Structure 1
Amino acid sequence: MKFTNGYWLNRSDYQLQHPQSYHSHRQTATKLTVYAPYEKISQRGNTLNTGMTTMELSSPLADVIKVRLTHHDIDQPGPHFELTDSSPAIEISETEETVIFQSGEIQGQISKSGKFNLAFYGNDRLLTESKYGAQAEIQERDPRYFQPGINELYQTQGPHYMREQLSLGVDELLYGLGERFTPLIKNGQSVDSWNEDPGTGSEQAYKNIPFYLSNKGYGILVNHPEKVSFELASENVSRAQFSVEGEVLEYLVIYGPSTKEILMKYTALTGKPALPPAWSFGLWLSTSFTTDYSEATVMSFIDEMQRRELPFEVFHFDTFWMKEFEWCNFEWDDQQFPDPQGMLQRIHDKGVKICLWINPYIGQKSPLFNECRQKGYFLKRADGQVWQWDLWQGGMGIIDFTNPAAKEWYQDHLRRLLAMGVDSFKTDFGERIPDNAVYFDQSDPKKAHNYYSYLYNEAVFEVLEANKGKNEAIVFARSASVGSQKFPVHWGGDNLSVYSSMAESLRGGLSFLLSGFGFWSHDIGGFEENATADIYKRWTQFGLLSTHSRYHGNIEYRVPWNYGEEAVAVTRQFSQLKNKLMPYLYREAVATSKTGVPMMRPIFMEFEEDPTTFYLDKQYFLGSALLVAPIFNETGSVTYYLPKGKWTHLLTSEIKELAQGQWLTETYDYFSLPVFVKENSLIVTGKNEQQAVYDYLDEVTISCYQLTEGEHHSDLVNQKGELCGKVKVVRVGETYRLLAEGITGQATVVVYHHDKIERNRLAADTELSLSIQ
């Protein structure tokens, strides 16, 4: 939201006031309060007829400063983000020129003389600052009530806003703000943090997170669930601006200094990602959306996948498992599925998990509608009537999850389906929530708009976790808000079956993963339209090298044989590859759940010393060791960047040794793509190509990729995510000493040493020493 007219002037319909200078402060053991009036106070008379900003500095976590700017101290109704407060030790001090608030390695410094200024330092290095004129209380003029000759501050006015601007340095780049499909670097963008149902091809987004991070070592969380308007080097090109409607603005400055450390601290505040079950990393197959399907169709797909030895773990029933116009009534369409419980058992007997599509709406035709209306389970209008519209299902109502009885009622329906044999739910929608509805708990509807997605997915995830157990719960969610990373996994929404949409899906995913989320998926082949065999095969490579992998479409079945026998072979190869990688992938997933560092991540998170990597948005790391560059055209040509180092192609074992970062252009067939292992990586792979869940410690292969001299370690986890052993490798010259603790049977050891590859066998819990000849 823009308030200025160029650099010097304000827009005519806004009245802005800024803190002019520091006046005084108070302090307690946990908080510093600074008073900053809107007039320069040179004599007592200046204290009359002027307002001020009350600025509070506190700290919920070491290395984090929370700033609260208040114009008028009025009640702030909920909902509010759930943030951890660990009450760290703080230090407040002052000099003749400065008041200093310190938490861990971050300092906030307020100038006591001259123009008002708030600067943030991390380990004595300037991170960013709120310069004179950056903070503002803003009154929108309402010309209907303007009276000439009367001071504008006393006019009847329109909405009120609070604004902050934080300085940007030369070469400073900003990322995050949720899953956004615009360019990965957010500089120059205007972003409203407001959940919509937009598809993947617009500036709107399903998952808005008012959190951005900088390549200069800090992140900013604007602590407001309502709409936050960001102007990132757009309105003022040397500042990052954010504003909210109201009288209070609160934000947190999080010091890293690395991107990984920023996200570790951000997720310590907002919640760590839950660990998804191991089976969820295998391939998911869907009925697709508007296609016709019945039990016969579903079983034919499952049987054909298994007949062709195409590994997959989950079968997903999309919307039409229920009757049209009745979503969501939680009842199977008895004409297409006459024996649902028997069918689910028959699917389980084939070793396949089951996911069902749901949403938080009840169509008026559903028998459940009147029940919810009578019991007060829906969001309401101001006149007490049910808030209804026809966008999606005719006359639908929206479940009010702030009503404990409504939440329990909704969860009871899910419990019944879980008892029938369902394993997971696709929690679709939750974005188009009215901002004028009345909630059971009197939530502010503007604040509840984005936050609704959190309440919805929390309700479903709670049932799954209680029913299935810890680390067995997973949803397949589209909407999100701050903290929703606790309820994985999320997918990218409605994309198109074209390469540009495949690329924008990846951009959106990387932006999302830089916003505190650990796991992410997307519709392989695109959701809308018919997919060509070419894009289906290329997207399959990308999809099966993402954390979670699902075939899903709108108007056509996304089964591989519909796209030719080569598509079948490509699916087989990459699904088998992912299963073999599961010991490595699940180890990385466990690390993500503990640290908050995303499992799938932009290249710069591994190479922050290389400035080129900050601009890469068409390649990524899968875990800490695998660099992936998908192919986004029908020719098979790909231009990608490898940073300095020794890189080993995962599929061909080709070694590239680069003295400096280099752009490469190559052509690949459908059975390969650039997927390289970073030097100094230990990757443990398994023996089972057909399943995602098996014994990750039995008959493993331990691959040592271009290890430098010294010690190297890798944890070993089992299929439940439990730490069960470790691999230690010590390289001295041309000699490698390996110790594996926790493996069963014999391990195959593969050492990639310069351009040589050495293979050997290692018995369980023993040490192996080998010299490269």
Structure 2
Amino acid sequence: MPLQFIMHANGFDLCLGDRCVLSHRADDPAFEIGTGVPDMEMVRGNFRIADDLHRRLPLNCFADDNGAIRLWNADQPETIVGIGIDIDAHHARLKIRCTDKNINRMWIAMARDADESFWGGGEQMSYLRLNGRRFPFWTSEPGVGRDKTTELTQIMDTEGLAGGDYWTTNYPQPTWLSSDRYAVHLETAAYSVLDLIEADRVAVECWKADLDLELFADESLPDLVTRLSDRFGRQPPLPDWAISGAIVGLKDGDATFDRFDKIAASGAAISGLWCEDWVGIRQTSFGKRLFWDWKWNAARYCDLPVKITALSAQGIHYLGYVNPYLAVDGVLYQEALAENYLALHQHDDSPYAVDFGEFDAGVVDFTNPAAAAWFSERIIGQEMLDFGLSGWMADFGEYLPTDVRLFDRSDPMEAHNRWPVLWAKVNADAIASRGKTGEATFFMRAGYSGVQAYCPLLWAGDQCVDFSRHDGINTVITGALSSGLLGNAYHHSDLGGYTSLHGVVRTPDLMHRWIDMAAFAPVMRSHEGNRPADNLQIDSSDAILAHFARMSNVHARLAPYVRALSNEAVATGLPLQRPLFLHYDDAAYHDIQDQFLYGADMLVAPVVHADQHGRQVILPDATWCHLWTGQDYARGTHPVTAPYGQPPVFYRKDSAHAALFASITEEFGE
């Protein structure tokens, strides 16, 4: 159905076919403006956000000056909101601008059908279907627990606003898709909110009165996802090495290599060794933290260049870690300070130091092109790529304080959400400068609109090492599906989870289930977590190591299929992990977030609850073949047994890749 704009004597309609999506009338205005003062508190990337609202005015007057729309309030006629319209059948852009720069709030009311479903919102971790809830868009730490009813979340809130909630996420994005085959995007970096609580309308709030409201429409949801990928950017293909074996994460200094040899000797298919501690360790009460001076720490890894060369000869790629901040007691901080590359306090020229929990770090000011180029070349280019790293975790990006002074004098309340995109560009530019786009890679947890153009691979952030509903293993699936609908083709997680606090530790059951799930992601990467000594690792027992070895080989055998999906992603922007409704038009699938399509030809239903050895699996319309037994299944809901090493996985019997899948059945099945 095409988009169309219809002008009336006292307002206008924006329609999708014969269905009105946005309707404004002078006596029933869709737009309101106001003023407010944000009330913000940040504690180590966790935010308390409130609004001191001063006024809110409906725009109840309308004029059409030859297609140039003017809106205002009858009691304040000097303040004009102008709306310019660019529209074709598939895309509409409303350019909304206010003449009074003191106006810093806008509300927009859009129409919705009672049975309409909505998804998107960036990387949402708790809910795939957004209906019935309110979603603020503000990049931050997601929190620990993320459920205000739980003791863990309450403890973390008391310790520094760190409990989080269902909507808190490293990667928000004010873009949402409708089951009616259209999508809406707010082109703004200001704090904004999508409110879907009321059943008859979509309410939008933005802390800025100048923004673009974009609508996209297409004939199918896959085509709509492609259209969004065209809009926000497309990732390069994943490197062959990143998908052809597991990436083992160890942070044990020189002892890492003996442990790595033991893991390799298990028969595991390994393509990478990831050592985030290559820069050294700082011990804190939270656990082992890294020393944020982004260069090789010879005291922790005494002979690392030789080791990297030896690993390369075995076909093993070496990966490290970096983030956009510099510890004030590091060498690189002094270099940045001397060049005036650091963000400053608002009222003097002193560098702004952020408390990261028992140490402070400076903020490299990426609004300064020279500072961004310095970080890209001096740190990532010279200290990492030239040193021999093939990839890295590009961590953080969410912590820009809202009271800094930036080089470009932009409002830090808006720069905050843009920061992950600037950070991703710094990393991508470094790789491009060495001609290694699609060969070297990095992975990020933070994001915002447009990060798709620079970040080649997302990871799900810092899950708790448990099965909890809002912060455990299951949130990885929701994060992959929600972000994938917005053009983020590649997603993966820390195998085993990351956050271990207040007695929450990995169980053998969790490790086995995460191993099973990780094998069916584009990248399979383990992580030791924030407290390695307190938690099980992939080499903690013979049983866990044998299971990891088995599933890493399953992951490696899927590489030709993953390569085909990666090629499809490059061409169309379609994600590798997809909700069922993307290919099967059935409202019964709109809420499903604990299983997914892996491409169009494979369905994966991980076990994401503790101490369960089977689950109900929903199969859409096709003949599906069980990967481990070869048994055929028809459409419907089926009980499926799931011992460790055999998570419920099915493939379409008519798939062009059926021979590959059947070979896995023959080698690894019953």
Give the TM-score, by structure 1 length.
Answer: 0.71
Taking the aligned partners of 1:669 and 1:559, their CA distance within structure 2 comes to 20
Relative to structure 1, is the Cα distance of residues 664 and 341 closer, same or farther in structure 2, using a 3 angstrom cutoff?
same
1:324: which partner in 2? 282
Structure 2 residue 96 is matched with structure 1 residue 164:
no
**Residue 84 of structure 2 contacts residue 96 of structure 2 at CA under 8 Å; is this kept in 1?**
yes
Please give the root-mean-square deviation of Cα atoms over the aligned residues, in Å: 2.8
How has the CA–CA distance of structure 1 residues 160 and 485 changed in structure 2, closer, same or farther, with 3 Å as cutoff?
closer
For the residues of structure 1 that align with 2:182 and 2:457, how far apart are their CA atoms?
26
CA distance in 2, matches of 1:278, 1:651: 26
Alignment partner of 1:488 out of 446, 456, 470: 456
C-alpha deviation, 1:444, in angstroms = 2.4
Residue in 2 that maps onto 1:644? 621
Which residue of 250, 256, 267 corresponds with 1:298?
256
Report if aligned partners of 2:103, 2:209 keep a CA contact under 8 Å in 1: no
State whether residues 79 and 100 of structure 2, in contact with CA within 8 Å, keep that contact through their aligned partners in structure 1. no
Structure 1 unaligned regions, length at least 5: 1-6, 27-31, 40-45, 75-157, 685-700, 705-747, 752-773
Deviations 1:282-318 (A, max 9, x none): 3111115xxxx222x2211221122111111111111
Q: Which residue of 1 aligns with 2:517?
A: 542
Query: Is 1:179 paired with 2:123?
Result: yes
CA separation in 1, counterparts of 2:79 and 2:499? 54
Separation (CA, whole Å) in 2 of partners of 1:166 and 1:369 = 48
C-alpha distance in 1, partners of 2:303/2:660? 47
Query: Residue 615 of structure 1 aligns to which amino acid in structure 2?
Result: D
Q: For 2:105 and 2:291, how far apart are their aligned partners in 1? A: 39
For residue 465 of structure 2, what is the amino acid of its counterpart?
S
**Other-structure match for 1:690:** none
Counterpart of 1:367 (choices 313, 316, 331) is: 331
Q: Compared with structure 1, are the counterparts of its residues 364 and 37 closer, same or farther at alpha carbon in structure 2 (3 Å cutoff)?
A: closer
Unaligned runs of 5+ in 2: 1-29, 35-50, 147-164, 284-289
Distance change >3 Å, CA 58–CA 627, structure 1 → 2: same
* Residue 55, structure 1, aligned to residue 31, structure 2: no
8 A Cα contact 2:492 2:523, kept in partner: yes
Q: What is the alpha-carbon distance in structure 2 between the residues aligned to residue 356 and residue 335 of structure 1? A: 16
Partners of 1:246 and 1:560 lie apart in 2 by: 47
CA contact (8 A) 2:327 2:362 kept: yes
Of all paired residues, the percent bearing the same amino acid is: 21
Structure 1 position 430, deviation (Å): 1.0
CA contact (8 A) 2:279 2:293 kept: no
Distance 1:409 1:69, change over 3 A: closer
Map 1:331-480; keep pairs closer than 5 Å.
Answer: 331-382=295-346, 383-392=348-357, 394-411=359-376, 412-416=378-382, 417-480=384-447
C-alpha contact 1:164 1:243 (8 A) present in aligned 2 = yes
| 2:381 partner amino acid | R
Where does 1:124-139 land on structure 2 (aligned, <5 Å)? none
**Maintained 8 Å contact 1:513/1:598:** yes
Structure-1 separation of matches of 2:104 and 2:387: 52
User: What amino acid is the match of 2:337?
Assistant: R
| 2:169 aligns with one of 200, 205, 227 | 205
| In structure 1, distance between residues paired with 2:125 and 2:249 | 24
Deviation at 1:463, TM superposition (A): 1.2
Q: Please give the alpha-carbon distance, in whole angstroms, between the structure 1 residues aligned to 2:202 and 2:403.
A: 30
Deviations 1:59-116 (A, max 9, x none): 4x76110012233265xxxxxxxxxxxxxxxxxxxxxxxxxxxxxxxxxxxxxxxxxx
Q: What SS class does the counterpart of residue 591 from structure 1 fall into?
A: helix
Offset at residue 637 of structure 1 (A)? 2.2
Aligned pairs, how many?
Answer: 578
SS in 1 for 2:360: coil
Q: CA deviation at 1:438?
A: 1.6
SS, match of residue 389 in structure 1 = strand
Determine which of 256, 264, 276 is the counterpart of 2:218: 256
- Provide the C-alpha distance between the structure 2 equivalents of 1:372 and 1:346, rounded to a whole number of angstroms: 34
Task: Measure how far apart 1:22 and its partner are.
Answer: 4.4
2:577 is the counterpart of 1:600: yes
CA-CA distance at 1:192 after TM superposition: 1.4
CA distance in 2, matches of 1:393, 1:335: 22
Q: Is the 8 A contact 2:247 2:271 kept in 1?
A: yes
Alignment check: 8 A CA contact 2:139 2:171 kept: yes
Q: Does 1:219 align with 2:183?
A: yes
The one-letter code of the counterpart of 2:456 is P
For the residues of structure 1 that align with 2:461 and 2:612, how far apart are their CA atoms?
27
Aligned pair 1:241/2:203, yes or no?
yes
Residue 34 of structure 1: aligned partner: 69
Name which one, 1 or 2, has greater alpha-carbon Rg.
1
Structure 2 equivalent of residue 532 of structure 1: 507
What do the CA deviations read for 1:382-421 (whole angstroms, capped 9, x no partner)?
1121111322462310111122222222122222222221
Deviations 1:574-593 (A, max 9, x none): 21112111111111111112
Contact residue 605 and residue 648 of structure 2 kept, 8 A: yes
Which among 558, 563, 567 is matched to residue 590 of structure 1? 567
Change (3 A) 1:703 1:12: closer
Q: Is the 8 A contact 1:329 1:366 kept in 2?
A: yes
CA contact (8 A) 2:82 2:98 kept: yes
AA aligned to 1:495 is: Q
TM-score for the superposition, normalised by structure 2: 0.81
Deviation at 1:255, TM superposition (A): 0.4
Residue identity in the other structure for 2:532: E
* Residue among 648, 651, 656 paired with 1:677: 651
> C-alpha distance in 2, partners of 1:375/1:393?
26
Q: In the TM superposition, what is the alpha-carbon distance from 1:15 to its structure 2 partner?
A: 3.8
1:511 alignment partner in structure 2: 482
Q: Does the 8 Å CA contact 2:263/2:539 hold for their aligned counterparts?
A: no
Deviation at 1:58, TM superposition (A): 1.0
Q: Output the CA distance in 2 between the equivalents of 1:454 and 1:473.
A: 19
Q: Counterpart amino acid of 2:365?
A: D
- CA offset at residue 702 of structure 1? 5.7
Residue pair 2:498, 2:530 contacting (<8 A) in 1 also = yes
Q: Are 1:192 and 2:136 an aligned pair?
A: yes
Deviation at 1:604, TM superposition (A): 0.9
Matches of 1:534 and 1:750, distance apart in 2? 24
Q: Partner amino acid for 2:73?
A: Y
TM-superposed deviation, 1:208: 1.0
How far, CA to CA, are the matches of 2:340 and 2:103 in structure 1?
Answer: 32
Please give the secondary structure, in 1, of the residue aligned with 2:407. coil
Structure 1 residues 349, 703: CA separation in 2 closer, same or farther (over 3 Å shift)? Answer: closer
Separation of aligned partners in 1, 2:207 and 2:614: 48
- The one-letter code matched in structure 2 to 1:181 is M
CA shift digits 1:183-213 (9 cap, x unpaired): 2111122221111112463331101111111
Confirm or deny: 8 A CA contact 1:216 1:257 kept in the other structure: no
Q: How do residues 672-711 of structure 1 correspond to structure 2 at under 5 angstroms?
A: 672-683=646-657, 701=659
Amino acid at match of 2:253: S
Q: Distance in 2 between matches of 1:589 and 1:12?
A: 47
1:604-615 mapped onto 2 (5 Å cutoff): 604-608=581-585, 610-615=586-591
Describe the SS at the equivalent of 2:432: helix
In structure 2, give the amino acid aligned to 1:366. Answer: G
Distance 1:490 1:622 in 2: 16
CA shift in 2, pair 1:400/1:213, >3 Å: same
Superposition deviation, residue 639 in structure 1: 1.5
Alignment of 1:655-674 (within 5 A): 655-658=632-635, 662-674=636-648
* Distance in 1 between residues matched to 2:540 and 2:180, nearest whole Å: 46
Question: Whole-Å Cα distance in 1 between the matches of residues 358 and 52 of structure 2?
Answer: 43
